[in-house]
Each structure stands twice: as structure tokens, then as C-alpha cells.
Chain A
Amino acid sequence: MGRYHRPLALADALATLAGGPATVVAGGTDVFPARLGRPFAEDVLDITGITALKGIGLDGGWLRIGALATWSELAQAPLPPWLDGIRRAAREVGGVQIQNAGTVVGNLCNASPAADGVPSLLALDAEVELASSAGLRRIPVAEFVLGNRRTARRPEELATALLIPEPGPGARSSFEKLGARRYLVISIAMAAAVLEPAADGTVGRIRVAVGACGPVARRLPALEAALRGLPLGPDLAGTVTPAHLDGLSPIDDVRGTAEYRREAALVLVRRAIRTLTEQA
């Protein structure tokens, strides 16, 4: 049986991690179900007492999502429209009880291929802030998630926040999720998109990511390049072709076949882009 730590100061948490590995617990919505009926053998670091890790706020061109910020807080915070996509995702993570406890940063660190927050974070060019006794570092989400349940977080590090750069004027975002039923369901496939329109009514920059179609969610650079400069209108979504999704590597599992996922991802990407054009 391991030890249970619940420090109130970040420095104490980092000192604990410097002393040896520990399972970090915030909302607990992934940690507890993963060990049903099996007690913690390892040390546990409960970070819920660390006030400095709370909160969501815009500061100096970046949105900061603290490690203790829950999905409910993200859904309810007064935030600009370019965060509509990830806020849509916030309402699709389990039910409200899960959203009240589960954290955005925890969803990322758990590194499930079906993590509902990750496609939006990729499309938003989000970065992860990692703290250790040695100091802070920041790395893009795209470099943070390495594989199924694997991240670039070192054992002595704590993910303290997500940082999202404010996009250009008029930016907007969308999110689409497919599950076996409407709510309270693990994703079969997801798509997230962020658009920065150009002044002439065409696509300036667009970033599109797909989740649950491979060990990690990923961006679709070929599609992003193909859409740039096209008119922002009802025909834009139809220009997405199956070839644009070639980078995906979906698998067969209990929730769906690889072939079904590929088809679903195409439909979801088109829907996500249609939502962006309809918001204009």
C-alpha cells in the first residue's frame, strides 16, 4: 500500500514527485475507474488542494486553463467564440457529475486515444506547461501525447496548465463527436476545427484534427492546406475528400470497425467545417 499525499502548495507537490513517482489525481474520473476493485499499490499525489492550479482566464494573448479547471468550469466560463468548439466538447465528456469533477488537463494527461478534449486542443495549437523542482517547460500538445496512454511528462513533472494562443480576429471553432448514443458515451470518432477567416471572405488559416481514429488524435495538414484560400461558403465542407484523411489509422474495436471510423471521420470533419461556415 502506497502513501497518500495531499499538499496545499505546488512546491510541496513537486518535492513529492522529485522524491519518487506517484499517481497524480485531480478529478479522479479516469484514475478510479481504471483500478476498480484494486487498491492503490503506488503512492498517490492528490493535487486538489493546490489553489494555484485553479482557474481559467485570458492573459496576455493566451488562455490559461489551470490543472484543476473542470469541464463544467470551461463550459460555463465567459469566453470568446473561438473557444466554442472545446466548450462543445466540455458538454460531451460523460454526464454533468463527470464534468463537475474531471479536468481538461487530466483528460490530456490520461492520453486516451478517445480523449474528448485533445482534438480541440490540437486544432487550437495548445501548449502544456510542465513544472518540476528544476523549473518550468512548455511543449505543444502535438508533442506531448506520444501514444496510447503515453505522454512526454517525466515522472518528476506535474502538468500545471494548458495555454492556448489567441487566434486572429473573427476566429471561430467547432467540434463534432460520434458515440453509440447521444450522451454519456465514449467517442467512436471526433473532429475539431478552428478557422481564422481572411478579410476577403476566404479561408485564412484553418486547423482540423480528428480523434479516436488512431493511437493519438492528429491534425490533417493536407486538408488544411487544401482549404486555404477557398471561399467561406456552403460548398466548403463538400471539398473534403477521403484522401485528406489518409493520415488516420483507425482500429477495429467494440465501438466500431476501422472502416466505419474512417467513414464517420469524413462525415464529422465535413460537419465541423459546415458549422464554421454557417457561423459566418
Chain B
Amino acid sequence: MSGTLNRREVLSGSVLGVAAAGLGGAALGAAGPDAVAATPAAAAQGSPARAEIVLRVNGRDRLLAIDPRTTLLDALREHMALTGSKKGCDHGQCGACTVHVDGRRVLSCLTLAVAVQGKAVTTIEGLSAGDRLHPMQQAFIAHDAFQCGYCTPGQIMSAVACVHEGHAGSPAEIREYMSGNLCRCAAYPNIVAAIEDARNQMERS
């Protein structure tokens, strides 16, 4: 937990306040102290309750009012206009939606946005330093490590984490630890070459 808002306050205080405004006192009582979503009655009325959450994405705090069941991927793409993270399969098989949460790579399609409050989310949009590309981005260009490019943001986010984890020591190790990212254009040899190149640069800097 960090930041100015306490999670419990967000979940049970202010959000229930939002819910209560839409639902009325009776529904609030039914929802209980730690519930943030709507009751079935509210859904029937077409007024789903929204959770008000603060997400720290690429170093910026953003306040969102979203359905608490919204995935991090949908929150990024639909509510923050950060469309770099791609929705490939939407069920954890392709890796195109890979982002970092507190420095660890996760699949944003299998993560609820409300569950990463107080954590630092980094997406492909947050990787470069202004106009200066991250060494991994530069290496993907230099090695032509893509064709259609759809999987590339996820590949690059995964690759950066792979190097930080110390799992980029050899082509075989890179292949194992990048196995969560599929490339249907099969640019794998160039992806492995790009990661080896970027690893050397990242270790030097």
C-alpha cells in the first residue's frame, strides 16, 4: 500500500458512497462492509455500481470510476486510452497484454484493475525516456524482431522483465523464459537476437 488513498477507504468508504448514491440505503445494507459491486437488483435496474479507484500507470496517478470486474487490460485500453497493450486472446495464452506491476511481468487480461491499486503499473507507453527509446525497443527495431507488430508491445515488456530477472543468459534460457509470448509471424529468431543485444546494453548501463 502506498499513495494518498487508503485502499480500504477506497473500497468500503468512498466507493460505497458512490454505490449508495445509485442504489439507496437498503441495497447498501445488503452489500456488506467490503463489497464494492452492485446487488442483482441494481443490475436489473441497469445501474451497475462503479468502483472509484486510483491507478498509478507509468508514474502518473489516475482516478477511474469503473465496474470493479474490469480487467487491467480493459482499464488501460478503454478507460485510459493506453492502447499499446494488445488484446490478443483475452485469456492468458498469448502474452500480447503483458505489463509490469511493481516491476514483475503479468498478463493484464487476467488481472483486475482494482487489485493493482497502490502498485506501480508500467506499460509499453511508459518504457521510453521521452523520445529516447528503451534499449529493448531499439534492439527490436535493429534486429527486425517483428512482422505485423501486434505481439511486439507484449514481447518487449516481457523481454525487459526477462533481462531484469536474470533469465536472458543464453538463447535457450531466453526461449524458455519468453515462452509466455506468442508471435504468429514467427519472428522468434530475431526476437531472441534482439534480447541478447539489449541485454548486453542494459547490463552495460
Contacts and interface: CB of A to CB of B under 8 A. Distances in A.
Given A16-B32, A28-B110, A98-B180, A1 B71 contact: no
A149 to B, nearest CB: 17
B34 A183 contact: no
B162 A6 contact: no
A98 B110 CA distance: 9
A101 B107 contact: yes
Interface string B30-63: 0111111111101100001001000000000000
Q: Which of B42, B167, B178 has the most CB of A within 10 A?
A: B178
Looking at chain B, what size class is its interface with the partner chain? 35 or more
Contacts of B42: 1
B7 A28 contact: no
Contact of B91 (A7, A36, A48): A36
Interface stretch (B111-119, B121-129, B138-146): B111-119
B95 to A, nearest CB: 6
Interface residues of A, number: 38
A4 B95 contact: no
Interface in A1-49: 1-8, 12, 16, 19, 25, 27-29, 32-33, 36-37, 39-40, 43-44, 46, 48-49
Given A1-B43, A183-B175, 17 more contacts: A2-B37, A2-B40, A3-B36, A4-B36, A4-B69, A6-B34, A6-B36, A8-B7, A27-B110, A32-B109, A33-B91, A49-B115, A96-B180, A97-B107, A98-B92, A101-B106, A183-B176
20 contacts: A1-B38, A1-B43, A3-B32, A4-B69, A4-B114, A5-B32, A5-B34, A6-B7, A19-B32, A29-B107, A36-B91, A40-B69, A94-B92, A95-B95, A95-B178, A95-B180, A97-B106, A97-B107, A98-B92, A100-B106
